[in-house]
Structure 1
Amino acid sequence: WPKLLLEVWHVDAWGRRGLAGYGVCAVPSAPGCHRVTCVTWRPRGTRRQRLLGTGGPELRVPEVAVTAGDRFRLRTESAGSVRLQLGVVTRGLGTFGVALWHW
């Protein structure tokens, strides 16, 4: 079943962009409207990076966040959570009034 991989970014007062965190959550398997909370985390930077506030490291391959075995080898810290509202349609799209367009 599909999962969502989130990359959350922030912009500071000087217009610099930085990674706020990564999050992974499963898409609900039941049709309908769902509220999902996705917990986020970020790789823990070095002591120097944390003191200078230069931002932390980023994953070279963000997809590594999806596989638990690789993710648990990382040193991470909590980065908050993201609330999502998802509308899920599983099958029979025509019966729900959804038209499929082919480009």
Structure 2
Amino acid sequence: MPIQVTAGTVADPDSRTSLEADVVVHGAIGQDQGILLSVGEAKWQKVMDLGHLERLRRILHLLAARGVDTSHTTPACYSGAGFTPELRAAADRGEVLLVDLERLYRGS
């Protein structure tokens, strides 16, 4: 059960930049601040592709390296313009959660 939804940033020392996560979801399982359920990126007018998923995977890798339990974390892409076939295939394999306008406003 989600208890908190926020946004956040993670420093990436390799590229000397910060990576932003538009949607960070914590759930009420096992830890005081909750378990990390999802890290996502949202785009309104851009078709999302595998590059977006790779960026989310990088964020999860950086968090895991800092000791954050990411074993129950699902990357998620939110788009008002849709997703490439390759990203949809990754979703079919369970690698990413895709949220389009239909799902966002009407549910899954």
When you count strand as a share of all residues, which structure comes out higher?
1
Structure scoring higher RCO (CA < 8 A, sep ≥ 6) equals 1
TM exceeding 0.5:
no
**Length-normalised TM-score, structure 2:** 0.28
**Length-normalised TM-score, structure 1:** 0.29
> Which structure has the bigger radius of gyration?
1
When you count helix as a share of all residues, which structure comes out higher?
2
